[in-house]
Amino acid sequence: MKKNDIAPFFAALKAANPTPQTELEYTTVFELLTAVLLSAQATDVGVNKATRRLFPAANTPQAILDLGLDGLESYIKTIGLYRSKAKHLMETCRMLVQLHGGTVPRTREELEALPGVGRKTANVVLNVAFGQPTMAVDTHIFRVGNRTGLAPGKNPLEVEKQLLKRVPDEYAVDSHHWLILLGRYVCQARKPRCWECVASKYCDFTPKTLAPATGKKS
């Protein structure tokens, strides 16, 4: 993607969705951290179904610890890899209580020191909870970055670095959400829905796909 096309690309996404939000449901920073930790290799819909049961019963680190491992597992067993996620979440809660007074830290280093919290999870928390212009590169953003030519890279870290370098400052904080939503609903893996994309004219992907019913190009 040409440098001159990047700002119009994001301007088009912003015009269509001025205030993008994560689709994970949360009301506190700890709930967000928990939801993101549980979301690895799972859908936001599936995580939300589980946390709607979990959070009314326990939505603080100490409350999670009080549930015990078996109790926590009973709330999240519908989520893939729930046993390992439960262990990580319990250890994270223990560290939050012992080292951080029960609050979620605001630095990448402290977040990534928590069990089950990798770079992507830390980026989501830093961006969504604390408004930092980080890029949490999941499969959707990795695909969009490469397919559009916005941020080509062989791995998520390369794509992240390209995005941090190329996304204009005015779009930096919300760009993570726009790219995820674009990849999830429009720029899909099997067949991008170019005819529905508000920013398709700035995208390097060719040839643009056709709408099934009309055969009309985007």
Q: Which of 3, 49, 87, 120 is catalytic?
A: 120
Q: How far apart are CA 5 and CA 196, in angstroms?
A: 19
- 194 has binding-site annotation: yes
The DSSP symbol for 118 reads: -
Say how far residue 23 (Cα) sits from the centre of its chain. 9
- Please give the C-alpha separations between residue 133 and each of 35, 136, 171, in angstroms, as whole numbers: 20, 10, 9
Which tokens belong to 36? 């993101």
Q: Which of 3, 5, 87, 138 is catalytic?
A: 138
Q: How far apart are CA 200 and CA 55, in angstroms?
A: 40
Block residue for tokens 């269509």 = 16
- The per-residue b/e assignment along 142-155, b for 16 or more CB within 10 angstroms, e otherwise, is bbbbbbbbbbebee
**138 an active-site residue?**
yes
Block residue for tokens 């040409």 = 2
Closest CA to 44 of 109, 128, 152: 128
- 93 has binding-site annotation: no
Name the binding residues.
187, 194, 197, 203
Which residues does the annotation mark as catalytic? Answer: 120, 138
Annotated binding site for [4Fe-4S] cluster: 187, 194, 197, 203
